[in-house]
């Protein structure tokens, strides 16, 4: 069973991840106030993605789980991406 | 084979009578509960269909009002789609058979499984309440298209909420099946020794997980619009009604694969059992299930060719739609290759599996005209679509469901039905079906729009033929269902494996004991291995 | 139940698969709304920009920090239970719920401020403004509202966990392994019986799954925050 396969994650790791998340939040607010035009949207999304990934990998233990969990998650995100892409084929070109 | 352990039909809980069923966490009892509820709703749906056809015997106003007709086609669609076809094979037969086929004692989450049935029943009751309360039954059609679904005063909010609840039931079943297949296969049951029915349930479960939430959020938005007036789909306030159609079909197109894949799985199990030989192209069929599940996500907007979406999108979706034909074709050719030069025993399950092949082939080929842009514009929103749809869904999934019932009824009850009655019923179903739906396709091709209460006189003959077909079909269906009621009372007892089939569910008693197998089985070979015409 | 003889196998991977599959459905549920957001944003960039200026970045940022910190206390609660510090685990769990309350209070204040200024779906004030602003606020109320419901659901789940971890193991153990009296109860917490270990294992699995849900609600907020409060 996987719960026993890995030793408990050290509490220090959790603290570091938390600090990183707060730092990234500060960063995204700073970037937003600098008015990069279209780039700031991209920056906001990229930073949010990094933050989400950190939560998924460390707080939600995906890093320590069986590879299958990551594959399943990627499958889900891929499905969502395909849906968005195909919808935009209509919306953008109408 | 097993005489020491009592079957699941004998009550072993502290509860009595009905309570020992509706609170049971045994996957077999839950499967039976689902089967009974689904068959009840199916019968209601059929009767409503007959009532609809009755009106179409003559043009003009008679029998009941146009508003009632709108309500009838909506309710017929909602019941048959959400209460019969979507849960049909996975929830009833999947629940019963899946753990048996992989040598498990139960599904991974038995209590969640019971919950899913309760959620189904609650959703169904809400749907029925929607018919008899508020300002009358919903009249939008089963697709709840905006803006009409936001403007009509009929009971749409409750009906939509019911569909939302039913989605949960579907998700819970899917979640349970995926986990069960991943975690509970018995020793030796590797992925490529699983019966193809189990494979099809696996692919279906993924669609249930990844598509149903989109329906849920779409329905939430319809409810929110009706209650809070958000204006998300209101062009007057910047909204885009086409986005509703996108969201709706992002779920509802994959949903037709939720409907058809399990039926294909049934056929993949039935054909080798009655051809007395191994299935041709096992892996191809298994992978084509996954391929259909995936490609099913890429084609939803072919329901929207005339909606005014972008030309590029129409071409892209038309092109992608043709891709579905590849994995579907792989399956059909493999089934036919299995039957080639086999000593086929035409028992009732095989009869219906072959009917599936025949009707589904017609449904699939007529679908090409809908997938191709130019022809679709001609037949869109006509009876042609209605006919095509019923060929795939009733002729496909419906016949698969019937085949499953015929194939596994002895497993579930330990009794055999009267085969002669079934053959007579089959003849009615086959004749009535083609009279009804093929005529619909011709009418549609000639321009008869769907969902119209009346029609010009030149369609009269066709409508009469179709209506007569509906009578024959309904007679056949009820004769068919009646045969099982009779069999419950008077059916002859059968041995554990009456079909001499190879898959694991036949290696335990019929009906199976509560824990399915006396000892946990160990699998040493593929699912369809015959030797000298008998299970190897 | 009709299957009294079923053996009990705690399958932590199995429960986790089930939980993750459920989380995927949540992702796609919000995914559908993000799709709508994306389309309307692309169509009305200027209006969205203008509307988002009227949302208070500070409130949003504070709420982000609250949820991120609650995620930390959540994993600490799990970490403590893994290390068999039941009390500490319980306290971290209660703190997590406290953060949830704080988040919702902020949300409530923010919403009532907007509603007070006549900005709510279908309001006269809003229908008088541009189409893009209408859509922005409709999506804002819909998405943060649905997210709020998820926060509430998460708090209910965590509340159940508090109850589960808080109560000592007073499942009646087989008489042969343990006499059930007060004295035995006192030791059963400290002394490891195989039955207890199994229960601990089961509690840990449940707490981990509850944590997964809580984190997912956090992940969704991580995306909601920049999309509504920061785009410029």
The full DSSP string for B126-187 is: HHHHHHHSTTSS--S-TT--TTHHHH--SSHHHHHHHHHHHHHHHHHHHHHHHHHHHH-PPT
Domain extent at residue C88: 24-230
% pLDDT > 90, chain B: 85
pLDDT at site B381: 92
Average pLDDT over residues B116-135: 91
Contact A52 C42 (CB under 8 A): no
End-to-end Cα distance, chain A? 52
Residue B428 tokens read as 């009615």
Query: In the predicted model, is pLDDT for residue B262 greater than 80?
Result: yes
Beta-carbon pairs below 8 A across chains A and B: 42
CA distance B360 to B264: 10
Looking at per-residue pLDDT, the higher value among B479 and C199 belongs to B479
Rg over CA atoms, chain B:
23
Contact B258, B293 (CB under 8 A): no
pLDDT at site B317: 95
Contact C39 A88 (CB under 8 A): yes
| Chain B residues close to C29, C-beta within 8 Å | 213-214, 216-217
In chain A, the number of structural domains is 1
pLDDT at site B134: 81
Q: Tell me: the pLDDT tens digits for C56-101? A: 999 999 999 999 999 999 999 999 999 989 999 999 999 999 999 9
DSSP B249-281: HHHHHHHHHHHHHHHHHHHHHHHHHHHTSPPTT
pLDDT at site C179: 42
pLDDT at site B407: 97
| Chain C residues close to B183, C-beta within 8 Å | 11, 13-14, 17
ipTM at complex level:
0.93
- Which partners does chain B have (≥3 C-beta pairs < 8 Å)? A, C
Residue B240 tokens read as 């885009």
Per-residue pLDDT of chain A (94 residues; tens, 9 = 90+): 344 456 788 999 999 999 999 999 999 999 888 877 778 888 999 999 999 999 999 999 999 999 999 999 999 999 999 999 999 999 999 8
Mean pLDDT of chain B: 94
SS3 B415: strand
Average pLDDT over residues B217-240: 91
Query: In the predicted model, is pLDDT for residue C231 greater than 80?
Result: no
Tell me, what DSSP letter sits at residue C121?
Answer: T
pLDDT at site C166: 86
Q: Would an 8 Å CB–CB cutoff place C4 in contact with chain B?
A: yes
CATH number of the CATH domain containing C48: 1.20.120.80
Pick the CATH number of B29-516 from 1.20.210.10, 3.30.565.10, 3.40.640.10, 3.40.190.10: 1.20.210.10
pLDDT confidence bin for C169, thresholds 50/70/90: low
Tell me, what DSSP letter sits at residue B533?
Answer: T
Average pLDDT over residues B7-28: 90
Nearest CB partner across the interface for C79, out of A11, A60, A77: A11
Query: In the predicted model, is pLDDT for residue C183 greater than 70?
Result: no
pLDDT at site C178: 43
In chain C, the number of structural domains is 1
% pLDDT > 70, chain B: 99
pLDDT confidence bin for C184, thresholds 50/70/90: very low
Contact A55 C65 (CB under 8 A): no
| Chain A residues close to B243, C-beta within 8 Å | 87, 91
- Which partners does chain C have (≥3 C-beta pairs < 8 Å)? A, B
Q: Tell me: the pLDDT tens digits for B333-345? A: 999 999 999 999 9
pLDDT at site B87: 94
Q: Would an 8 Å CB–CB cutoff place B310 in contact with chain A?
A: yes
Contact C23, A71 (CB under 8 A): no
Contact B45, B473 (CB under 8 A): no
Question: Which residue stretches of B192-342 are H helix?
Answer: 196-228, 241-275, 282-295, 311-323, 325-339
Query: In the predicted model, is pLDDT for residue B199 greater than 50?
Result: yes
Domain segments of chain B as ranges: 29-516
Picking from C97, C112, C205, the residue whose alpha carbon sits closest to that of residue C152 is C97
Segment 199-218 of chain B within 8 Å of chain A by CB: 210, 214
Domain extent at residue A63: 2-93
Contact A45 C226 (CB under 8 A): yes
Q: Is B190 exposed, middle or buried (0-12, 13-18, 19+ CB in 10 A)?
A: exposed
Segment 165-194 of chain B within 8 Å of chain C by CB: 171, 174-176, 178-179, 182-184
Nearest CA in chain C to B104: C6
User: Could you tell me if residue C17 is inside a domain?
Assistant: no
Q: Tell me: the pLDDT tens digits for C123-134? A: 888 888 888 999
| Chain B residues close to A79, C-beta within 8 Å | 210, 297
pLDDT confidence bin for C232, thresholds 50/70/90: low
Query: In the predicted model, is pLDDT for residue C16 greater than 70?
Result: yes
């Amino acid at each position: 069973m996987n719960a026993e396969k890995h030793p408990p994650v050290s509490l220090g790791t959790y603290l570091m991840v938390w600090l990183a998340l707060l730092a990234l939040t500060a960063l995204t607010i700073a970037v937003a106030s600098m008015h990069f035009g279209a780039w700031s949207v991209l920056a906001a999304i990229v930073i949010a993605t990094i933050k989400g990934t950190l939560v998924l990998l460390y707080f939600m233990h995906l890093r320590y789980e069986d590879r299958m969990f990551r594959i399943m998650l990627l499958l889900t995100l891929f499905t969502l991406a395909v849906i968005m892409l195909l919808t935009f084929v209509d919306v953008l070109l109408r | 084979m097993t005489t020491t352990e009592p079957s699941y039909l004998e009550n072993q809980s502290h509860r009595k009578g009905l309570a020992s069923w509706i609170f049971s966490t045994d996957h077999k009892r839950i499967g039976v509960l689902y089967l009974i509820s689904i068959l009840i709703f199916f019968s209601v749906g059929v009767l409503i269909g007959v009532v609809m056809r009755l009106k179409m015997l003559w043009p003009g106003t008679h029998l009941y009002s146009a508003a009632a007709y709108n309500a009838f086609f909506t309710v017929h669609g909602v019941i048959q789609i959400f209460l019969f076809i979507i849960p049909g094979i996975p929830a009833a037969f999947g629940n019963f058979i899946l753990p048996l086929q992989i040598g498990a004692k139960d599904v991974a989450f038995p209590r969640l499984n019971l919950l899913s049935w309760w959620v189904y029943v609650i959703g169904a009751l809400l749907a029925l309440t929607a018919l008899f309360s508020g300002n009358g039954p919903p009249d939008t059609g089963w697709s709840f298209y905006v803006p009409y679904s936001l403007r009509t005063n009929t009971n749409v909010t409750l009906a939509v909420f019911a569909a939302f609840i039913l989605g949960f039931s579907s998700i819970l079943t899917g979640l349970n099946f995926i986990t069960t297949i991943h975690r509970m296969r018995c020793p030796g049951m590797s992925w490529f020794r699983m019966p193809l029915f189990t494979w099809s349930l696996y692919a279906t479960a993924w669609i249930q997980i990844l598509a149903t939430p989109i329906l849920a959020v779409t329905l939430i938005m319809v409810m929110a619009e009706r209650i809070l007036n958000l204006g998300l789909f209101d062009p007057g306030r910047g909204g885009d009604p086409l986005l509703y159609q996108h969201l709706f079909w992002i779920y509802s197109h994959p949903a037709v694969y939720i409907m058809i894949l399990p039926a294909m799985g049934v056929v993949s199990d039935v054909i080798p059992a009655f051809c007395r030989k191994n299935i041709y192209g096992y892996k191809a069929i298994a992978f084509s299930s996954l391929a259909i599940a995936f490609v099913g996500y890429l084609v939803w907007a072919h329901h929207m060719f005339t909606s005014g979406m972008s030309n590029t999108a129409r071409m892209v979706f038309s092109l992608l739609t043709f891709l579905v034909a590849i994995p579907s074709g792989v399956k059909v050719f493999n089934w036919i290759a299995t039957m080639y030069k086999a000593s086929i025993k035409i028992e009732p399950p095989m009869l219906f599996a072959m009917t599936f092949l025949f009707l589904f082939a017609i449904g699939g080929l007529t679908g090409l005209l809908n997938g191709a842009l130019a022809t679709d514009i001609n037949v869109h929103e006509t009876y042609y679509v209605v006919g095509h749809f019923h060929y795939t869904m009733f002729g496909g999934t419906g016949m698969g469901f019937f085949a499953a019932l015929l194939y596994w009824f002895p497993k579930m009850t330990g009794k055999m039905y009267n085969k002669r009655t079934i053959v007579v019923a089959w003849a009615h179903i086959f004749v009535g079906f083609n009279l009804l739906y093929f005529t619909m396709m011709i009418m549609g091709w000639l321009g008869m729009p769907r969902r119209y209460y009346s029609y010009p006189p030149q369609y009269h003959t066709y409508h009469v033929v179709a209506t007569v077909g509906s009578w024959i079909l309904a007679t056949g269906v009820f004769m068919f269902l009646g045969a099982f009621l009779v069999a419950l009372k008077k059916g002859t007892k059968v041995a554990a494996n009456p079909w001499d089939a190879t898959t694991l569910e036949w290696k335990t008693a019929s009906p199976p004991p509560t824990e399915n197998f006396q000892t946990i089985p160990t699998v040493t070979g593929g699912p369809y291995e015959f030797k000298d015409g008998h299970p190897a | 139940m009709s299957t009294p003889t079923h053996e009990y196998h705690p399958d932590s991977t199995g429960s986790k698969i089930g939980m993750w599959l459920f989380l995927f459905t949540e992702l796609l549920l919000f995914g559908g709304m993000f799709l709508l957001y994306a389309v309307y944003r692309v169509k009305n960039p200027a209006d969205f920009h203008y509307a988002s200026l009227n949302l208070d970045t500070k409130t949003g940022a504070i709420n982000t920090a609250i949820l991120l910190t609650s995620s930390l206390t959540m994993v600490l609660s799990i970490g403590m239970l893994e290390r068999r510090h039941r009390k500490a685990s319980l306290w971290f769990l209660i703190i997590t719920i406290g953060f949830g309350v704080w988040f919702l209070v902020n949300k409530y204040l923010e919403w009532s401020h907007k509603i007070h200024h006549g900005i709510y779906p279908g309001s006269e004030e809003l229908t008088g403004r541009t189409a893009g602003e209408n859509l922005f606020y409709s999506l804002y109320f819909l998405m943060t509202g649905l997210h709020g419901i998820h926060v509430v659901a998460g708090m209910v789940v965590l509340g159940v966990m508090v109850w589960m971890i808080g109560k000592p193991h007073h499942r009646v153990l087989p008489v042969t392994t343990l006499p059930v009296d007060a004295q035995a109860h006192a030791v059963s917490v400290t002394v490891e019986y195989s039955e207890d270990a199994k229960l601990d294992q089961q509690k840990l699995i449940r707490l981990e799954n509850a944590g997964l849900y809580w984190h997912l609600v956090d992940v969704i907020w991580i995306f909601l925050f920049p999309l509504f409060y920061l785009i410029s």
